[in-house]
Structure 1
Amino acid sequence: FSFTLTDPSPSSQATESETRGEHRRGPRVYNVKLELVNTINTEVLRRFVAGKQSHDNDVLTAITALNVAVRMQPSLDYPFNVRSFFTSQEKKDIGGGIVLWRGYFQSVRPAIGRMLVNVDITTGSMYKPGSMLDVALDFLGRQRDPNLLAPSRGFPDRERLRLQRFLSGVRVLVQIPGQSPSGPALRYPRPVAKLTPVGSSQLSFTNREGVMLTVAQYFQSVHNYNVRFPDVVCVEFTSGAQIPMECCVVPEGQFMRKQIPPNKVTDMLSFSAKNPAQRLKSIQEGLTTLAYGQSEYLREFGMHIQETHLTVKARVLDTPTLRYSDKSKQPTIKPRDGEWNLIDKKFYQTVPIQRWIVVVYERQQRFRLQSAQDLVAGFVSMFQAVGIEVREIDPIISYQDASGNIAEQLRGVGRQCLHKHHNQGGPQLVVVVLPEVSADIYHSVKHFGDITQGVATQCLNSSNCTRARPQYYANVCLKINVKMGGINAIPDARSVPALTDPHNPTIVMGADVMHPAPGSQGRPSFTSLIGSVDSDTSRYVAECRPQTARVEMIEDLKDMAENILSLYKNYRAIKENKSFDPKRIIFFRDGVSEGEFKQVLEKELPQLKAACATFGIEPKITVLIVGKRHHVRFFPTRPNDADRSGNCRAGTVIDSDITHPTEFDFYLQSHSGQAGSTSRSAHYSVLYDENNFTPDSLQALSYALCHVYACATRAVSIPAPIYYAGIVCARAKLHYPPGGNQGDLAESATQLSSTEADRQMEVFRSTFKTVHDKTRYLMYFS
């Protein structure tokens, strides 16, 4: 069939500066062809949830159709983003041109014997509505003087480009102040392409009569509007039309599809956080917004949704016992509610510190020499308390200029240490005190330590370590010990026999992929692979690589796994005096959606097996996907079942009622809840299991691995190797020399041609530096 669309008639506000380059079209006929591509077979879905049929395309089609029906009515009534819908009933202006809206996530999911609708609250970041001048000034944090956006009055081009990246893509209405809005300029907002480098008084064009005019002159002569801020940059549309910013209005409810600025993350987390009781109430109130009973689409589909939350069965796993040094007053500890402390405990394995230095980049007026000496005394005391032998109690303290060459400065202080110790060796540890704003210095320090020199570095914020308490030094010592080659604690062998069985040496691996910011071009994704090398699965090594942007499967997994196996082999031979014959590999994979599970088995598992074949070994492999970005939330039904924060207790596991109809999966909440927020359980999906683990064994070993994260005395929300893999990806930019733009994933909306993007991608690959040989065996990423 066919239908016709006609462009709206011109209006008093359809300015020539808007329409030049846009040739008006007459009526246009659109031909539409409907083609049958599939049939929705609900019988297949019934068999699937009954566990009588595997997941295939017919099942996927049926589930997709149900999701379409459920989302149809809300998508017509509210702004929506994939599976979530947002309302302005609850919102918060966090500055920077961003307003947060409360939203509701919904998704139809299969479960054992039934279909469920998963509903949760979520948060959307929107552009602040109103005058674009106000939005621009708010983003830049400037005072309410629009002339601050005038290049001729000192508005830097760098700031203009930063503002352009923020505003690109936002749709605006053209509305001349003081004149009644009418016509298509109001009804059809158009996206911003870029900002002009000069103001409307300097932008010229030739009109239809062949007369050269500036944009400001045109608005004065045609619309009788005197541009108030003729020096302020203008908005340019894709058509080439250029409009004074004061004539642009941002409509309400537009998603800001770019990375949230780092200084706004705390505000977003604060708005998103609700304690369990508040969150459950919000979800129940959201059912009114979603209004399933009023949807004509659901009625036409013959669907009925029961608007009550589901009560499921849960268990609390036994907490693993952790072992510290036998020299401790308390050598073993059984954590309570997912937490413990270092009182009366010495680390399981330590490395003596013979030589170390303290380098201060904070101004001496703000971090005095006495503060630095107190810092040294605090560390020496805590080193002794946790069992680290420190043979130098008066390390060199050196103040350095933060604007200088960081690597040369550190190398110079290292030479002073060498001379102090009569050429016996340089520092084993570099403690660096940083000012508040210090991202560039941090990058330089870490690149020097991890990549160039192969020495452990520990950065501290000057405000945190001034008059610090013993707890602060204890927390930092957790990181220092593993960076030096020590082990803080291990799971007791009797708690997790599946991990520590001497007859079945086990390697635990964790893998992750991190992608560049939305809108970025020519920037890579980064991949990481973590692997245990000791018999207690508490010491890990890491591999990191750049790869093609937004490719989820790890392209170099075989080579990365070979490097991990090589390090494992050498560690077993040199440190543990044991043979190289791993019987099991437990591979935890993060960041994979359900639709990509099959690709993991088809693309990554063969690479892992190929890496094993290179060494002539055939360990049995178990593959688990660990999901964190789901919207399933659990709430205790009785106060006695909750922890102090009102959340489910650490160790709560759910493996029935809402799990997959045919595959083995479970939800595990391994960590204690934080006051004022609702905990999110990790979702484990077992894709492949040659080891034939029992459900209890897999759940117990996963829970135990949540307790061996070296940087905390609390269980974390996901197994430590997955946690480490995420950290290694996040710090991948440190593998590039300081001062360049490689590895900068925060930059968004970088517009490049495909050729330029390919060339830049190759630069990222070729300039990526691997860690120093001395660092490879150490947990430098802690």
Structure 2
Amino acid sequence: MPPRPPPRGGRGGPPPRGTAPPRGAPPPGAGRGQSSTAAAPPGQVMLAEHVQTIGVRKTGYGREGRPFEVFTNHFAAKITDKIIIHYDVIHPSEKTLPARLNFEIIEALQTKCYPQVFTPRAVYDGRKNMFASQIISFPSGHETQHEFDVFLDGIPEDPSAADAPKSYKVRLTKVATINPEVLHRFLSGQQSHDNSVLTAITALNVVVRMEPSLKYPFNVRSFFTNRETKDIGQGMVLWRGYFQSVRPAVGRMLINIDISTGVMYKSGSLIDLCLDFFGKPGNPAILAPSRGLPERERQRLSRFLVGVRVVTRVAQAQGQQRPGGRQANPRVIKRLSNQSAKDLRFSLRDGTTQSVADYFRITYRRELRYPDLLCVEVGSGALLPLEVCEVLPGQIMRKQVPPDKTSSVLEFATKKPEARLESIVNGLKVLEYDQSEYLRSFGLTVDTNGPVKIKGRILPAPTMLYGQGSRQQNVNPRNGEWNMIDKKLYRPASINRWIVIIFERQQRFSQNAADDMINGLRNATAAVGITGFQSQPRVSWENPQADVIGTLRRHGMEMRNTAGGLPDIYIIVLPDGAADLYQQIKHFSDIQVGVATQCLKSNKCFRAKPQYYANVCLKINVKLGGVNTVPDAKAIPFLADRQNPAIIIGADVIHPSPGVENKPSFTSMVANIDPMFSRYVAISKVQKSRQEIIDHAQEMVAHCLRMHINYKIETGIEQKAAFPRRIIVFRDGVSEGQFKQVIDGEIPKIKAACAALNLPVTPKLTVVVVGKRHHVRFFPMQGQGDRSGNCPAGLVVDSEVASPAEFDFYLQSHAGLLGTSRPAHYNVLYDENGFTPDSMQQLAFTLCHVYARSTRSVSIPAPVYYADIVCARAKNHFDPSLNVDLSETDLTPTDPGQKSSAKTLSHYQKNFKPLAQTAQRRMYFA
């Protein structure tokens, strides 16, 4: 047995009464779409009055827009009429086991230990649920419960022998009988979305995923094969995979199939994996502490290796394999040592100590080739030299991909629509639905003749308005695009003083380059109507390694002393790879001082074309309080109703990267303050890690309402119109399983915020979830796509593949660029404003056109997009010296030799600084 290391030492207030959200249906007169007593057309159902839903019930379908047929990555499925038996699965006296091992245990249970009991075989979800197509006859004769002893290689001749292999206890308990009739009723609009429907859908998903889960590496609803791979370096290899999910649709069940990408650890020698991580293959010496391996790099490698399963060459050499050729006892890496194999010592039973290198030499008669290299500690506590470890293939890396590898992942994952659909259809050969014994035994069939063809609509784009002096003030976007040639911004900003600071060596960014950049900005700002940039700015080259915040503050004070005021904006030129520099600048500008900054990358602005500076002007204008463009309210009744002023709020939560511990989650809200829905303010908070519900929703909504009301009063809008009568919240980042949590946990807080402000009129509330993390795709008919091969911007689908019971729709609001466009999925959870499908769809589409950074419609409404950005920038609220990074774990006592720096939530909340007063009124996040 390899040596073990020595032991280590040492909310918002309650909601007002009577404001509880409705259950399953909107309040009287709310959320009523275009209901009808006539029979529903194909692809539509009429919902029975008694049906209850989680969100707002579906009462109609949209009609606006021109018809547009598309293919979708769904395949028709015929569901079984056979009763399904649900069993609960537990492992008594066992810790929670990895899903991979759970599947091995259940497979051994059914095929090696008790095959006569499990005929036909049941299906299992890897955790707690098993489903059988008939009642299992337990050996004990007991009808509802039995406990099995399971051996991974089959029951040995003498299970009680001292040298018998380990057994796992599995207890099955019958918990329910599922009648598929509830699914048929749900699909036809006659059944509520209750637990019986949810369990039936879960069972069908487990059926289709059972076989791939036994054969391939898997991750929740996707599995991956090595038929198509790409080595992207740093110890990572991409594998092509397939996603599959059985989903209820209008009138029928469908299987949603998509291609996916898995990031795997590179298999083979652990030393080679470590060297590949550092990008220095063939040079094992860099892994030796005595050769100067930096501590920070050792920590980075240690975090990367945590969770990797390895087998030892020692075991292989001694023939330690289980029957069937399976490797004996894979070990899971817990951490990387901070000493080499020859220096790392442990205590023997006789009180003496021995190095790891000596242990392997004496015990295994193996002289290490690289005794100067580090060791890994595995889950059992054993210490293993790097050179004796082999990394098993097919291990999914569940950590965030480094930023410099994101482009490689996107390149591998991106496929044009036609190629993606072809790949999906070809994937049916891998899925082999018609060959699956599990699908046959449960009576589930899939139509593999081709993807489903459905009907959608292309919504008309809103007219966008520009400012006086434009050759064309009214612009009609075509396929989500328009240009700013000869156009003035709707409300251009102006400045009095500005500074240019260059954090790049003057040899790389010379005076001529600076003059060229300044002239480019002058020409671009003049063209769109921004004034003040014709004045001569102060220009200074500064050392990026010096005190950046002190440098910015010094220049600001010098300008105040000599020019009578602080600069209105800093134009800052940054070198490549300056993320830490950028964070310091934003902490200074947004948190400490509240002055606008615009950062430019030196390689981007060097000899840049006018289009580059035109795009920069869009950001500068809104940061200085201007407005770029607004939608024509005449075409949008909701926006044009000045008798019922509205505030639109975007809300989001961002969590630490996968596998990262000791870091908080950040929340954000963004709200319009103007009546044209183009100028926004933001607020962000820090809360408990990985909690999706927004703790401070009441405080944040109240802040948004105050900013909205004060701005309108200060800008001369009459008192009555300053107070919103309608609140529409677009909530990002919520999965379908969390809808009820939002209804119960956030809506009462929003209403409490309104009550606490004593508004003259209680605003009516609508809450819509905007989903992006799904696998629904739409593909145009031959010759009907845009230049990228995607469906045109404005495609909306609210039938056929949408929910049969709830108010939802898919909207592809943007023009395609690379790959296959992903539509956003909108679910209306709560509605007191009486939106019809057409009015909600048109509102969402219009808000996708007011994103200030571009002259294109974007994939989600601008307030949601802004909320995403504000969340991502929340780390700037901390002093840069705290080094807050959601992609890295704080050091904890589990890292030997390191002092704990784990930070509590209270620590982060205490150090989370609010926006500077002047920044609160600016779109600093643009």
TM-score, length basis structure 1: 0.94
Alignment of structure 1 residues 341-740 onto 2, 5 Å: 341-390=483-532, 392-421=534-563, 423=564, 425-579=565-719, 580-615=722-757, 616=759, 617-639=761-783, 641-675=784-818, 677-740=819-882
Report the 3-state secondary structure (helix = DSSP H, G, I; strand = E; otherwise coil) of the residue aligned with 2:430. helix
The question of whether the paired residues in 1 share the 8 Å contact of 2:770 and 2:824 is answered with yes
Q: 1:224 matched to which residue of 2?
A: 365
Report the 3-state secondary structure (helix = DSSP H, G, I; strand = E; otherwise coil) of the residue aligned with 1:38. strand
* Equivalent of 2:185 in 40, 44, 47: 47
**Which residue identity is paired with 1:108?**
V
Q: 1:201 matched to which residue of 2?
A: 342
Report the 3-state secondary structure (helix = DSSP H, G, I; strand = E; otherwise coil) of the residue aligned with 2:586. helix
Deviates more, 1:708-717 or 1:189-198: 189-198
Matching of residue 235 in structure 1 with residue 373 in structure 2: no
| Residue deviations 1:302-330 (CA, integer Å, cap 9, x gap) | 11111231000011000110001022111
**Which residue identity is paired with 2:886?**
L
The question of whether the paired residues in 2 share the 8 Å contact of 1:522 and 1:752 is answered with no
Deviation at 1:390, TM superposition (A): 1.3
**Which residue identity is paired with 2:284?**
P
Deviation at 1:174, TM superposition (A): 0.3
1:44 & 1:740 partners in 2: Cα distance?
Answer: 54
Deviation at 1:2, TM superposition (A): 4.8
Q: 1:262 matched to which residue of 2?
A: 403
Report the 3-state secondary structure (helix = DSSP H, G, I; strand = E; otherwise coil) of the residue aligned with 2:327. helix
Deviates more, 1:264-273 or 1:192-201: 192-201
* Equivalent of 2:437 in 293, 296, 300: 296
| Residue deviations 1:738-764 (CA, integer Å, cap 9, x gap) | 12123x1011485568x9898522110
| Residue deviations 1:70-108 (CA, integer Å, cap 9, x gap) | 111111111111000100000100001000000000001
| Residue deviations 1:336-389 (CA, integer Å, cap 9, x gap) | 111111101111012211111001100111000111111111111111100011
1:364 & 1:105 partners in 2: Cα distance?
Answer: 51
RMSD in angstroms over aligned alpha carbons?
Answer: 2.0
| Residue deviations 1:489-546 (CA, integer Å, cap 9, x gap) | 0001122221232112111111000001122222110000111110101111101000
1:595 & 1:630 partners in 2: Cα distance?
Answer: 13
2:613 & 2:306 partners in 1: Cα distance?
Answer: 46
1:780 & 1:554 partners in 2: Cα distance?
Answer: 22
TM-score, length basis structure 2: 0.80
Alignment of structure 1 residues 58-207 onto 2, 5 Å: 58-176=196-314, 179=317, 181-183=319-321, 186-206=327-347
Deviation at 1:196, TM superposition (A): 1.5
Unaligned runs of 5+ residues in structure 1 are 9-23
The question of whether the paired residues in 1 share the 8 Å contact of 2:275 and 2:282 is answered with yes
The question of whether the paired residues in 2 share the 8 Å contact of 1:509 and 1:585 is answered with yes
**Which residue identity is paired with 1:309?**
P
Q: 1:331 matched to which residue of 2?
A: 473
**Which residue identity is paired with 1:98?**
M
2:286 & 2:772 partners in 1: Cα distance?
Answer: 43
Deviates more, 1:546-555 or 1:755-764: 755-764
**Which residue identity is paired with 2:925?**
F
Change (3 A) 1:561 1:2: closer
Report the 3-state secondary structure (helix = DSSP H, G, I; strand = E; otherwise coil) of the residue aligned with 1:186. coil
The question of whether the paired residues in 2 share the 8 Å contact of 1:7 and 1:26 is answered with no
Report the 3-state secondary structure (helix = DSSP H, G, I; strand = E; otherwise coil) of the residue aligned with 1:473. helix
* Equivalent of 1:765 in 890, 895, 909: 909
The question of whether the paired residues in 2 share the 8 Å contact of 1:500 and 1:506 is answered with no
2:836 & 2:591 partners in 1: Cα distance?
Answer: 42
Deviation at 1:300, TM superposition (A): 1.0
Report the 3-state secondary structure (helix = DSSP H, G, I; strand = E; otherwise coil) of the residue aligned with 2:913. coil
**Which residue identity is paired with 1:393?**
S
The question of whether the paired residues in 2 share the 8 Å contact of 1:521 and 1:750 is answered with no
Question: Which of structures 1 and 2 has the larger relative contact order (alpha carbons within 8 angstroms, sep 6+)?
Answer: 2
The question of whether the paired residues in 2 share the 8 Å contact of 1:671 and 1:716 is answered with yes
Report the 3-state secondary structure (helix = DSSP H, G, I; strand = E; otherwise coil) of the residue aligned with 1:88. strand
**Which residue identity is paired with 1:42?**
P
**Which residue identity is paired with 1:481?**
N
1:486 & 1:29 partners in 2: Cα distance?
Answer: 70
Report the 3-state secondary structure (helix = DSSP H, G, I; strand = E; otherwise coil) of the residue aligned with 1:739. helix
The question of whether the paired residues in 1 share the 8 Å contact of 2:148 and 2:171 is answered with no
Deviation at 1:465, TM superposition (A): 0.6
The question of whether the paired residues in 1 share the 8 Å contact of 2:342 and 2:371 is answered with yes
Deviates more, 1:554-563 or 1:143-152: 143-152
Q: 2:413 matched to which residue of 1?
A: 272
Change (3 A) 1:199 1:601: same
**Which residue identity is paired with 1:444?**
Q
1:564 & 1:747 partners in 2: Cα distance?
Answer: 32
**Which residue identity is paired with 1:534?**
D
1:160 & 1:758 partners in 2: Cα distance?
Answer: 18
| Residue deviations 1:722-742 (CA, integer Å, cap 9, x gap) | 000000000100000112123
**Which residue identity is paired with 1:626?**
V
1:391 & 1:78 partners in 2: Cα distance?
Answer: 60
1:678 & 1:31 partners in 2: Cα distance?
Answer: 47
Deviates more, 1:580-589 or 1:426-435: 580-589
The question of whether the paired residues in 2 share the 8 Å contact of 1:522 and 1:756 is answered with no
Deviation at 1:670, TM superposition (A): 0.6
Report the 3-state secondary structure (helix = DSSP H, G, I; strand = E; otherwise coil) of the residue aligned with 2:598. strand
The question of whether the paired residues in 1 share the 8 Å contact of 2:288 and 2:372 is answered with yes
Paired residues, number = 761
2:359 & 2:744 partners in 1: Cα distance?
Answer: 62
**Which residue identity is paired with 2:278?**
L
2:402 & 2:583 partners in 1: Cα distance?
Answer: 19
Q: 1:312 matched to which residue of 2?
A: 454
| Residue deviations 1:259-286 (CA, integer Å, cap 9, x gap) | 1111111100110000011100110111
The share of aligned pairs that are identical, in percent, is 51
**Which residue identity is paired with 2:786?**
D
